[in-house]
Structure 1
Amino acid sequence: MRFAHKGWIEDLYITPKFFFTYYGFDWVTPLSSTGMYITFLVMGISALLIALGLFYRVSAILFFLSFTYVELIDKTNYLNHYYFISLVAFLLIFVPANKNYSLDAKLGLTKAASSVPAWTINIFKFQLGVVYFFAGVAKVNYHWLFEAQPLINWLKHQSDLPVLGQFVGENWIAFVFSWAGCLFDLSVPFLLSIRKTRLFAYLAVIFFHVVTGAMFPIGIFPWAMIVLTTVFFSTRFHNLLLSKLQVSSVGQNTIQIRSITKYALIIYILLQLLIPMRYLLYPGKLFWTEQAFRFGWRVMLIEKVGYCTFYVSPESGSYKKIIEPTYYLTEQQLKQMSTQPDMILQFAHHLRDQYKDKTIIEGDLEIEMGTPQVFVDSKVSLFNKGSRTFIDPSVDLAAQPYNLAPRNWILPYEE
């Protein structure tokens, strides 16, 4: 409903002429205008049915598929909390969330139960813990802790905030927020897991997310985390809450985990632990190269802007044609692409395919392109420290493979 109301379905999935797909998902393409609106309608209805616990299993599958499909169309729109929702939606497919207080149970569509396997609760605790902990690990870097970047730049624009507005312009506040945010993320999943510190930790969760939600445009993420974190509370807490709502209570678990489920959980847990750490396989400064940057829970850690000028040249190299990216890309796509090497490479390959075997007429000249070369003049500023050349302008990007290998045509960052 939000996407439709704000016109984002049209702007993000119908208007663009080109889409930046994820590696391995080039086959994911947008549907027609009607098809995209139907996809969002299916997403909304399935979400409502999950909330009601009606036709739960089918609804969970439909929601996961529709939501994740939309997110895979264009990496321009990547956000950590969209990735998080896809993961939670995937887990919802397999857990018995409709066994007690649901219309499925009330209507006899599923056998009601007051006990569930412990893993069906603990897997969500683990997933939330991963988000918090790796967000904290990502903050253990020089820019965040010793330069208070990017907060020191962002907070200067928050002077209209109630109470905090008169202080946030001070540099020391940015350092306090940076260190407090790092310590909070690193410790909160463990404090939530300990009964004696759980209430204190949850109050910290509320404060942290209310403040960040008020200060920054990060959508539903703060509110989702506040609500979902209650999964750390005990059975007794939830029974007390449900009794206030006059709902039948949930029981303690006594159910054994099946072997196939055990191995599936081990694989899932290992993936969630390894994916955020894959950046260690790549050389260079992570915030500069952004290789393996996504899916690592690096939330609001970077301030980076840039611009690109592309050139298409025939095989002979005797001529260069300047390409205007705005003809192919929306403003949002251009903004994101200008600082992300994999997107720059994808666009260069798109230009190669567009001009391959074409003839360009310039005045009296007819230029046969053959298999064209594509070069880019790219300048990027990291943390507002001045523009630097980002991509080696002498490298023919059209000839560079699009894969997961380190990209040696990204110029090193120099202080």
Structure 2
Amino acid sequence: MANSKRKLPTKSSASTAQEKPHTTRQIPNPDAVPAQGSPLGNLFKECLGYETSNFSSLTNFTAWLQRPVDGAALGVFRLLFGAAMLVDIAEERGGGQLDVRFGEPQHCHFPLFPGMRALAYPLMGCVYLCMWLGAWGIMLGYRFRCSCLAFIVPYWYILLLDKPTWNNHSYLFGLVGTLLLFTQADSYCSLESWLNPARSRCRTVPYWNYFLIKFQFFVLYMYAGLKKISAEWLSGYAMSSLSQHWVFAPFRQMLDPELIDLLIVHWFTAFFDVSIAFFMTIEKTRLLVTPFMLSFHLMNSRLFVIGMFPWVCLAEVPLFYGFDWPRRIRGRTKTSPVVEPAPTPSKPSLLARLRTCLILGYCVLQLFLPYSHFITKGYNNWTNGLYGYSWDMMVHSYDTLQTSIQIVDNDNQQEQQQPEQEPVPAKPLKSCLHVREYKIGDLVLYAERYRKTQVRWKRGRVLERITSISYKLEIEGKEVAAHVSYIKKYTGRKVRFGNKEYLEIDYEQVAEEERRAASYSIWNMV
């Protein structure tokens, strides 16, 4: 009896010990996330695939940016971007016309900063060589950080050296090259991973590597669409007669050319730019809008002379799909050895938080710059400020017909006419253009602009020289101040065309000036 009494407590304690874990699991966890969230949160997750809690605090957002993802898709984008820049250096950066842009002492440069100067012709060749080797390094993924620096430093120097050549896509290429410098885009499909097999085993990168690139293109599309929401664009006057191009031949079977210009060229492109980034981000609509995305950029590559811009945008499209899609295509997802990343700490480090603040600061800057022209005041007939970072197209067309000025007396509320003043001829600014000089008394032909894109030649005589690039002419008994670009040498010869005779222009001079005009624009000089 005594032994049985002594065993009872032991058995009871054992059964109690077995039941405690069971009862503990039934206790509800107050920190557990409810199975069903708010309708807005569920919609956000359904569309984008992310929890709203990732953006509820700086800590959660930092952890979301730092999460490891496969770097294969980023590596393919790096390769395609580097290949596009090799072509861009020869074409739009002027590498194929290096002797014309920097070999001729008469060529003009209009830098952003007054202290910037172009180097000597042989040294500029070295600058282009450095940029070219950097593009090769980016494409091949060799010495990636050094290659990015070798590319972007000469690129920004050449871009800032000629302000009149600025455009949206040149600015975009510089930004993308700068962003790639801080990423690990050489973790896949690169010489570095091939030469260092141990490095290729770790194929994950922080998600913010993708976030920065995708955000930059998101701003490109979104702001290009917002700038098109204007009366001039939506009325169909910004781009006329574009429907006559062969790329719109299928549409001409169903619509009139005027409707193609209005509905497709203006309305559809405005809606496309505003919405395409959202549709590509949403998983359920991504596959549906991808054909429109590809067609849009392929058509642009045929419609406009915009260099490698459509092809870089096409190279960015796969970034919206899975991070490991190149590995899935190669069929190596299951067979490739993977080195698991270190477990992410529950609380991001101070360095990670600082990196997140810098990323947010960059995003805010990119959102602000396109509407910052009230600070960088300027005008060059394309945008309200320095063209390049505004994501604006050449949609404005101005033609001043008449200027009326009235003087209003605020005390008496009476309008007064402006007092007549003697007209003062405008003196064009001096430049470094090498122009043909004319002597007083020379007979010339003056190109009088009477339509937006047409001129008519009138015979005149040089009275005096106003500046280095302008003269005062006598034309039909009137004195006219003319820029040298509107003055041609009068030969006195005539040519017969049809049943009429026309004055012959010195076409050798015209050809010479047109050759120089390929490297500068008089409209961007002032």
Q: TM-score, normalised by structure 1?
A: 0.68
Instruction: Please state how far the C-alpha of 1:332 moved relative to its aligned partner.
Output: 4.7
Structure 1: distance between partners of 2:337 and 2:240 = 48
Structure 1: distance between partners of 2:198 and 2:274 = 40
Verify the 8 A CA contact 2:107 2:519 in the aligned structure 1: no
1:1-49: CA deviations, max 9, x gaps?
7565884223334435331111xx3333222211222222221221111
Instruction: Please state how far the C-alpha of 1:71 moved relative to its aligned partner.
Output: 0.9
* Within-5 A mapping of 1:123-142: 123-142=212-231
Structure 1: distance between partners of 2:363 and 2:131 = 27
2:365 counterpart (248, 253, 271): 271
Cα distance change on mapping 1:242 and 1:302 into 2, 3 Å: farther
Tell whether 2:64 aligns with 1:10.
no
Instruction: Please state how far the C-alpha of 1:114 moved relative to its aligned partner.
Output: 1.6
The answer for the alignment partner of 1:413 in structure 2 is none
Cα distance change on mapping 1:168 and 1:332 into 2, 3 Å: farther
Tell whether 2:233 aligns with 1:144.
yes
The answer for the alignment partner of 2:329 in structure 1 is 241
Question: Secondary structure of the residue that 1:152 maps to in structure 2?
Answer: coil
Structure 2: distance between partners of 1:288 and 1:46 = 32
Structure 1: distance between partners of 2:226 and 2:257 = 26
Structure 2: distance between partners of 1:241 and 1:172 = 42
Verify the 8 A CA contact 1:100 1:248 in the aligned structure 2: no
What's the RMSD between the two structures over aligned residues?
3.7
The answer for the alignment partner of 1:170 in structure 2 is 257
Structure 2: distance between partners of 1:161 and 1:186 = 22
The answer for the alignment partner of 2:121 in structure 1 is 33
Give the AA of the match of 1:142.
Answer: A
Tell whether 2:398 aligns with 1:212.
no
1:127-167: CA deviations, max 9, x gaps?
01000000001101111101x132114445x3697546788
The answer for the alignment partner of 2:466 in structure 1 is 321
1:274-302: CA deviations, max 9, x gaps?
00111366899996773354311113434
Verify the 8 A CA contact 2:183 2:209 in the aligned structure 1: yes
The answer for the alignment partner of 1:352 in structure 2 is none
The answer for the alignment partner of 1:52 in structure 2 is 140
Give the AA of the match of 1:216.
Answer: F
Give the AA of the match of 1:264.
Answer: L
- Specify every segment of 5 or more residues in structure 2 that has no aligned partner in the other structure, as ranges: 1-85, 401-424, 431-463, 470-482, 486-512
2:517 counterpart (331, 334, 345): 331
Question: After the TM superposition, which of the residue ranges 164-173 and 112-121 deviates more from structure 2?
Answer: 164-173
1:92-138: CA deviations, max 9, x gaps?
11001112332112222983422111101111110010000000011
Question: After the TM superposition, which of the residue ranges 211-220 and 130-139 deviates more from structure 2?
Answer: 211-220
Cα distance change on mapping 1:41 and 1:168 into 2, 3 Å: farther
Instruction: Please state how far the C-alpha of 1:68 moved relative to its aligned partner.
Output: 1.4
Give the AA of the match of 2:221.
Answer: Y
The answer for the alignment partner of 1:408 in structure 2 is none
Verify the 8 A CA contact 2:229 2:270 in the aligned structure 1: yes
Instruction: Please state how far the C-alpha of 1:201 moved relative to its aligned partner.
Output: 2.2
Rg larger in 1 or in 2?
2
Tell whether 2:427 aligns with 1:310.
yes
Structure 2: distance between partners of 1:27 and 1:284 = 19
Verify the 8 A CA contact 1:278 1:292 in the aligned structure 2: no
Verify the 8 A CA contact 2:373 2:385 in the aligned structure 1: yes
Verify the 8 A CA contact 1:21 1:75 in the aligned structure 2: yes
Structure 2: distance between partners of 1:4 and 1:282 = 31
Instruction: Please state how far the C-alpha of 1:203 moved relative to its aligned partner.
Output: 1.5
Cα distance change on mapping 1:249 and 1:174 into 2, 3 Å: farther
- Specify every segment of 5 or more residues in structure 1 that has no aligned partner in the other structure, as ranges: 314-318, 345-415
Verify the 8 A CA contact 1:242 1:248 in the aligned structure 2: no
Tell whether 2:205 aligns with 1:88.
no
Question: After the TM superposition, which of the residue ranges 209-218 and 167-176 deviates more from structure 2?
Answer: 167-176
Question: Secondary structure of the residue that 2:240 maps to in structure 1?
Answer: helix
Structure 2: distance between partners of 1:181 and 1:249 = 45
Cα distance change on mapping 1:152 and 1:90 into 2, 3 Å: same
Cα distance change on mapping 1:154 and 1:214 into 2, 3 Å: same
Cα distance change on mapping 1:246 and 1:168 into 2, 3 Å: farther
Structure 1: distance between partners of 2:166 and 2:268 = 26
Verify the 8 A CA contact 1:312 1:320 in the aligned structure 2: no
Cα distance change on mapping 1:35 and 1:52 into 2, 3 Å: same
Verify the 8 A CA contact 2:167 2:387 in the aligned structure 1: no
Instruction: Please state how far the C-alpha of 1:214 moved relative to its aligned partner.
Output: 1.2
Give the AA of the match of 1:189.
Answer: A
Structure 1: distance between partners of 2:374 and 2:428 = 33
Equivalent pairs counted in the alignment come to 330
Give the AA of the match of 1:43.
Answer: M
Give the AA of the match of 2:466.
Answer: K
Cα distance change on mapping 1:30 and 1:55 into 2, 3 Å: same
